Structure 1
Amino acid sequence: MLSVPLTYREATSPAHQVEFRREDLRRSQARLQNRYALVPRINLKQFLCKAVIDFVEVEIVTKNSTNFPAIRRWISSALSLPSPWCEQVGGEKNSATTFHIVIHDPRIADLERLDGAIAKTAAGLAQPTKITKLEISIDFYPHSGSEEDRLAMFGVLQRTYMPSKNVWTKNRDHPRFQWSEKEKPTFFLPSSIKRRLHHQLSPEAAFLDSTVYYWEKTGPASIRIQNKITNNRNKDRFIALPQEDKRARIEVTLTGSALSELKLRTIADLARFSFTKLQGEHFHFALPTFVDRARLSQYQKVQEAINLRDRESFAKGGVLCLERLRDVREEWFKRVGELKARGITPSLRRMGKGDRGTTVAYVALNEMVRTAFQELGRRIARRERRS
């Protein structure tokens, strides 16, 4: 059993804890023989899991020059929406033909009317509306409404998140957490990890009131995990959510090449998109595994010490950081020849692109997310038929 304390930044004691139980593995794969997994002690059936489109940013190109107040007015009137955020791209002061519009909580039926609404104006429409940014979230609402259940889910999401895409290529992509937009982020692991001995490293632990980030914020794809209790990530400008709206959340923001790879370029593409395609690279969860017994009995205490350190690393940084530390440790052992000297043969795999190392899929949570994405697709289809 592993008990992981969950703490708010300003608190002197943990607000809650999440526990992980041991589960022996009976797998045919060589990499999982003689290993056991740690599984969260959480009842996923006690949560409502819902996938939502948070916002979509679109690019509108008009035939004739106009200004963003006019664009906002036309869109708000035609779609019966609150005045959307609008940015002029290029052009002269208060006069341009290209604009970026952000629509929050969009309905596909409304988005499909965008082109027609602009085409009927004096500005006209030069080309079909193009998607430039998209944010999609998975929200977990505890049926009990209790803070403890919500905090436990946040702890589970952060510790079992394991995308297929490598987050260690660039320093700006590394996993980190941030309490306020005005403060510097805290990285779970230092960028100099390869130049330091494994026993000197221990991941930092994210606070319950911080946001956890993966990949660069301004990159093609970025992930955030948070205990969402306010409507703004900037703690200096927030409005507390009512209890029934508080949830644990994981969200992805896609732009540029990430949208192109998914063939998400137009509103029509979004309307027929299979959201389950986001799993794997962006929404995948995994469980850590540990060696049960050393290959040679005289090294059992050494193995137990390694497992203890690995469990501590997982408790703070999750499976991503644990796999990174194991990868670096293996490289270091090979470099200095300690493996042969100690008679230890590692059962670890090097992490390459798409390789989830010594982890196993967290099947129950992955299936829960898949069902939520499928339901999002059905909701979109129902709205289209009503439009």
Structure 2
Amino acid sequence: MINRLLHSEATWRYIDAYLPRVFGLCFHTYLLRQYGGELYALPGWMLGILGLCMALIPDPHSYILVRAHGASARRLLGLAIPSLILKAATCFPIVFAAVLIFPTAHMVTAHESAWPAVLAATVLYGSVEFFWAVLGTISLATGGMKRVALWGMAARLGAIVAIAIAWIFGKSSMTGDLFLASIPILIMWIFLSPWRFAPSQSWRFFVFSLRTYAGWNQGIALATNMLFQMPLLMLGMYPAAGAATVGHLAYISRILQAVLQPFQILQSIVIRDVAQATRGVARLDASRLQWVFRAGSIGVMVCGSAAVGAAVMEGSLSRSPSLLALAMVAGVAVTIWNRYELSKVLATSRLRELFMIGYLPVVSITLLMAVLAMKFWGLPGLAPIIFIGWVGLSVSWKWVDLKLRIR
């Protein structure tokens, strides 16, 4: 049994995809405890903006999972790497401009003159995690899952050792810790990635993949990230809470994204299996995973509600922020419940319809209502809007099925 698990690509996919979430959770907990919520607020907020930028700027990697496997997938990944690097480079000035325009002044002034260095280190950290997430996802198609997972474990162990040494010798700083958490993983990504210099082929692959699949998938990812970051975006733009509260809610958002990660791993497996089954490649029936999504949804709701209650009793969150945190937990639980059905749609040509009649209108209306709620009712008004937005995204796959039945 153990030997079979160690030879299963799904096992190594879980390890590679969830280990960064565990590392990130521990690292962000360390930052919050070491430097406090006031200093953590700015990098937490910037990572949210970076996530939106990453989701907004298109790249072709998602198309590889449904289109190729083996050497063919590795060749396509080599063609996609230049666009991934360009995407990260484009995000830096966008996040810089956002820091100058949007957040309340106390989030920036808490770092005094060090905030540009914090910004650079934060963008590097977020970009490196994005690069590794792409490499891990596509390794399902290239067949190098175990190798990627093992080297990823080694890179993060190196980062932990470097941060610990800096802390022991009293050389810790938020900027330095963010850099130390990024550099070993970046080096390993460079080592493992297939590199191809073929600008014309890369451009043709970029355009074709966006037009047929990746562009619509990117829109869905943007909508999901927008809902994750919308509470923080609103809190950064409106002085409805102090920097410490923003920091704690940013931390909760990071935890929820880490919680969602294993179900996104299952989602990628369902997408691959459904897509390859349509091409005649024999795979196990993906429906065996449906119960995992259902059980996970219940577990997230129960554990998340208990954690928010504990934060209130401890005094970390007051009544209004706790309502918003509970709405975020409930929304993620609802989307996990519907994740299996959503994954089946993501593996088909109905992706465009899912975005156009589901994700785009839901997020647009939620954003408008969130602005109005913050303006007139503050955090108590924002909480139900965020929850309703999550519900809308979660059930939008049903609208696609309804449209097909009406036809």
Q: TM-score normalised to the size of structure 1?
A: 0.27
More helix by share: 2
More strand by share: 1
**Higher Rg of the two aligned structures:** 1
